[in-house]
Structure 1
Amino acid sequence: MQHYDYVIIGGGICGVSAAERIRTQDTHGTIAVVSNEPHLLYSRVLLPSYLKKRIPRTQVLLRTSEDFTRQRIVCVQDSVLEVMPAAQQVMLMDQEALHYTKLLIASGGTPRPWGDARHARFQYRLQTLDDADRLFSALDSLYAPIIIGNSFIAMEFADIFVKNKIMPTILMRESYLLSPCVEREGGKFLEENAKKHGVRILSGDEVEKMSEQDDMLEITTAQGEILKTNCGAVGIGIARNMSFVRRSDIVVGERGIRVNEYLETNCEGIYAAGDVAEFYDVVRGSPHINGNWTNAVTQGYHAGMVMTGTRKPYRMVSAYSIENLGLRIAMVGDCDPQQESLVRYDEAAGRYARFFLKEGKLVGGLLINCREIYAPLIKYIEQGVRIDPATLDIFDASRIRVV
């Protein structure tokens, strides 16, 4: 059995950020990163740019084996079978056990299953570099792609196909793209913009049955639409990779591994960060799970800091943005649609914002083409100040009045 001072489950940006932070704080400790990915660290957020042919594949790659060797970080390519806190061991699929002093779970997520496995050859995802490579190699032969879902990933698929001059159809159960974070006006704005770029939208509908006809997938929807394609691009979210803790004493929350504001689990010496962590958000004042690149980077860095003795609470306003079909779309803070919200929309200027408030405090916002108020919005949310709702403005943040 091999012993490491630090074992990290997950070789994505969260796990690697943690490992590299640990190395800067502890120059002598032994570090192992366990990952079942066939590739070393790469940028998931650059995969769409690679598929839009804006950047070469090499630009997606972020680390080499020499980088890890230089930092004395051991990369173990394997899957985790079980975490055993009492024994301080991680059991791998090849039956090897790793003994640890401290453990970070940064295992991320896997796309949710969809459809019939018999039609898997028509299905495309956008989670891994292998997913992107497979789609890239097929771009010239795709016919009438069908995008399943209304998420940011679904919208990324749409932009990828449009940039490659392949006009897709979005099929979604929901009424609007990005709902429920946007309401009717925002949904209509996104839909009209997508249509201008040649994207067809089938909302309030879903797949009823699928069959193969002449090397094509024939989809019949609940509303009676018959669609033929050789590409089903699925963007319906992820399932957290945490099955290996199910038999342990590690507490799992509603959606992820439960940790406090220090990213500590209930088991001493075990931490969780990134997509898999349901952390106590000190800005929101409640448990939260956040699956985006910035969160993964910052939580990984913070976990590494806490694991090496600097015990400070993780405090950050979540933020995520994309350039999509000519729009700049950003989601900031807590965009829970159950909260009070106010909408500002200027059709002529092509700007939209939905502000979310809790007890008079600004807690979140969904912004479209509102670059000027992006940073100030983060500041107001982080400060937890009360805002005069009547002064919320999508052009000039200086008009927003704190009360």
Structure 2
Amino acid sequence: MMGSLDQTDGGDDDAVEDVTIARGWARRLVEKSEGLTSSVHLPAEMLGCSSTLGAIDRMFTRFSTHELPRVRAWVDGGQRYTFTDALVSLGARADLTLEQRLALAAESPEFCATFNGLTGWCPQFAARMQQEMLSPLFDALGAAPACGTDFYAFFGNYGYTPFGVHDDLDHSLLWHLGPSSKIAYIWPRRRYIELTGGALSTTQFTSLLMHARRYVLRPGDLLFIPMGDFHVLRADRFSATLGLTIFPDDLVLECSEGLRLFAPDAPTFSSIREQSFTLQDLVELRRAAVRSNGFVITPPEMSTLAPMAVRETEILNGRLRIPVGYPLVSMRVACREALFVRRRVIWGRPNTLFSALCETLNGAEQVSFQTLRRHIAARFESVALVELLQSVSRLGGLAVEPL
């Protein structure tokens, strides 16, 4: 059963409770899918999934014009571009069910909606996904994916998927949350090409359904779809499904994301454009950022973190610890030092403080400030160290507790 969770803000309403994910699910998944190469359906792997759905429901009350969700909606086969603004305008209305909220935002009782980057909106949800899903999966695979993962959800009573039969460039794990069931049709890539004469998505697929692998997804079921396999889902009544994307290695993507981390704006670019660095440096930057966030590509939204900086006296007289699964990561690129905190980066001039901080805090369950001070030696001013710890805390990478 799920135990207590550290509360950052929002109180007990944010806890994901009374959910049991069967032990050994990741090992069974890897075995039955032949190393994530074939689709597989595992019934009743998540019990009490209505609690997970409730946690996702509460995320929809947190959107604002300053922090917009990555959502999309389709109605009658076309995308509804007003969907995001409509969800923001509905705000924290407590009188709406999730289905009612989505229908109002989509301006239709029949819709398909997606929500990417779920873990960014609730620290408790992120911690639970890290513990119950990512850690067992990485253990079963033998390593975490260097390119990262992300959680998303899709909702609706849309009939068949509005964009038809399609393939994805990455692996997908789908945990069906209900309340209604839905049907998944999957064609292994080679078989689909044989049937159609080409690897093309289509909305004209009626004649193909009899050749598909057909799975009925009930609340709590897990479905795995390997990258490249074609698929379509059918939901005649409202339901929600939680998805986990496992991204394959993509050096071009990692280079471009690494460049955004290295030079996120025009002033930064102007100040560093004469510095020398390699494409591999950019790849490693992006991988370090993802590793610092537990191999999830979406950082926590700032509104979900501590609203106020921890005070200097609390740091000087407290115990310091980093959240389980979210190590601090440092590296040097060109003439700058990077410290990654939950996928966000603190840049500094070349120094040894960042690496010393990572080594000490990552290597201990908790440590007092005085112990940390001794470990990193007296060559660093206490004021600079405290200010750095305050920045790390604001980004969600450090908890400070009384001695």
User: Structure 1 length normalisation: TM-score?
Assistant: 0.25
Q: Which has the higher contact order (CA 8 A, sep 6+)?
A: 2
Structure richer in helix, relative to its length:
2
User: Greater strand percent: which structure?
Assistant: 1
Structure-2-length-normalised TM-score:
0.25
